[in-house]
Chains A and B, each alone.
Chain A
């Protein structure tokens, strides 16, 4: 079955420390992987994606993610967290079932709440 898992409901980090938000996936074929961020009462904002190429993907606001095929993971990272990074983070994978139908839809994880304290 195609799925995305975010094993942590919440991650707490001190400002200035590195942060990691974990994501693992299960999909047939080559994965297209995405990270989104959601601030309170707002829609999801696209952060970055992996389609092919370099395993380290750089995105918005200083975030990056590392694709690891052997571990089927796509963890989100940032070297130095800011209080303003506090939000809900979603990992997603492109549904590869097809042709047609659900192919192209995104399968989202349940989200991880990131809390950065001063």
Chain B
């Protein structure tokens, strides 16, 4: 709907499972983000990738492992999650200024999210 797709849209997993969330952006952006949105809590920034390099990890537990193989794809690998990890996981992308400068709008475009339930 916005040029950013996420799969799967819904995921139910047990605490011992390993699963991965996938995000793909078709906007030609160079930065990608993972957010966690829980009920009645502010949007939490988890990870930022800028030119495929991780530039931010907001004290996210190691049971969440991001991967950014190229500027169009972003994964979030999940293992041994806890029930409190149940949330809507949102991916976003934006165009950041390059190393040589240039215009950056920093407008982030979001995917539809993956609704994760951990049993």
Q: Is B106's CB under 8 angstroms from A32's CB?
A: yes
Q: Is A109's CB under 8 angstroms from B113's CB?
A: no
> Taking chain A's interface residues, is the majority helix, strand, or loop, or is none over half, making it mixed?
loop
Q: Is B55's CB under 8 angstroms from A44's CB?
A: no
Chain A neighbourhood of B6, CB < 8 A = 43
Known: A101-B55, A104-B96, A109-B42. A43 touches B2 (CB 8 A): yes
A49-B107 Cα distance, complex, nearest whole Å: 8
Instruction: Write 11 A-B pairs (CB below 8 A) sorted by A numbering.
Output: A43-B2, A43-B4, A43-B111, A44-B90, A44-B110, A46-B108, A102-B56, A104-B31, A104-B94, A104-B96, A110-B41
Q: Which residues of B contact A (CB under 8 A)?
A: 1-2, 4, 6, 31, 33, 41-43, 45, 48, 50, 55-56, 88, 90, 92, 94, 96-97, 104-113, 115
